Amino acid sequence: MTEVLFAEARAVIDAQLAEVASRLERTAGRFGRPLSYALGTAGKRVRPALVLACYRAAGGRGAGIARLATAVEIIHTYSLVHDDLPCMDDDARRRGRPTTHMVFDVPTATRVGYLLVPVAVEILCEATRELGLDPGTHQAIARELLAASGIRGMVGGQWLDLAAEGRSLVAEDLTAIHSRKTGALIRAGCVVGGLAAGAGPPVLAAFAEFGQDIGLAFQIADDVLDATATTAQLGKTAGRDASLRKSTYVSALGVDGARAEASRLAGRAVARLASAGVGSASLASLADYIVHRQS
């Protein structure tokens, strides 16, 4: 089931990203090509898959949801471009190819990251029009996505993550960082899917809790992979956490303990859906994939 959903997400999102990239190459002047390069990286498309699955679990059926999922993926892309910069994680490879600042330069990549945010908002507006959503729902979706991408979400989490380099953290400290750095956008994607489908408060709350739990599980799985997988498997430099002297769930809990915690969070995430009366085999399958993925 997961492979079918991912195949769909990759097909529709990749096609939409290609269309957006082509548009930017025509209209964005000297930043057109670097913007297109950043959007052209292949990915698993976990966040768009979650948008699609939550939308459908809440009864949504409109084709325009793919456009909204694309907006979420563009926000994710902005975060990757900035995360790879020398002042952040200083990584030369991402998703199997050179990072944006390696192909162009640091000032260009920095600007590209910033520019991708209004691009995502433009795509979000196109999506809500296509879905026929009312202004209140449009505003709620925009607030959710932009809060997740800013100081209360990814930016704040990245700030805390950088400040923690070289310090020894316990699991509770790591949760405070990664519930924002990684979990915020995953949570937002789930809530955005529910909002677009017209879900009520109990279902939206369940989606938010589900997203928060699997967001942390995703980060824990990343920490395990960074410590155990190869660069070829990951498509990015393995072992970066250790070289940057970062505290991780692996350093705090050990590999086996981290894996157990990721599984616990994924199980709790699915249980939260069940308690709200949301039955979705796709979401349960995605939670399992996030814990057990190999890249």
Q: Rounded to whole angstroms, what are the CA distances from 110 to 61, 146, 195, 226, 263?
A: 37, 18, 31, 25, 36
Residue 236 has pLDDT above 90, yes or no: no
Mean pLDDT of 97-105: 92
CA–CA dist 99, 129 (Å, integer) = 34
Q: CB-based burial of residue 167 (10 Å sphere; 0-12 exposed, 13-18 middle, 19+ buried)? A: exposed
Residue 43 has φ and ψ, to the nearest 5°, of -150, 170
Residue 237 has pLDDT above 80, yes or no: no
Kindly indicate the confidence band of residue 95, based on its pLDDT and cuts at 50, 70 and 90: confident
> Model's pTM, two decimal places?
0.93
Residue 234 has pLDDT above 70, yes or no: no
Residue 279 has pLDDT above 90, yes or no: no
| Predicted pLDDT at 93 | 86
Mean pLDDT of the chain: 91
Class of domain 2-292: mainly alpha
Residue 241 has pLDDT above 90, yes or no: no
Kindly indicate the confidence band of residue 43, based on its pLDDT and cuts at 50, 70 and 90: confident
Mean pLDDT of 235-255: 77
Mean pLDDT of 164-192: 90
Kindly indicate the confidence band of residue 203, based on its pLDDT and cuts at 50, 70 and 90: very high
Lowest mean pLDDT among 66-70, 235-239, 250-254: 235-239
Neighbours of 100 (CB within 10 A): 26
Percent of the chain with pLDDT over 90: 69
Kindly indicate the confidence band of residue 122, based on its pLDDT and cuts at 50, 70 and 90: very high
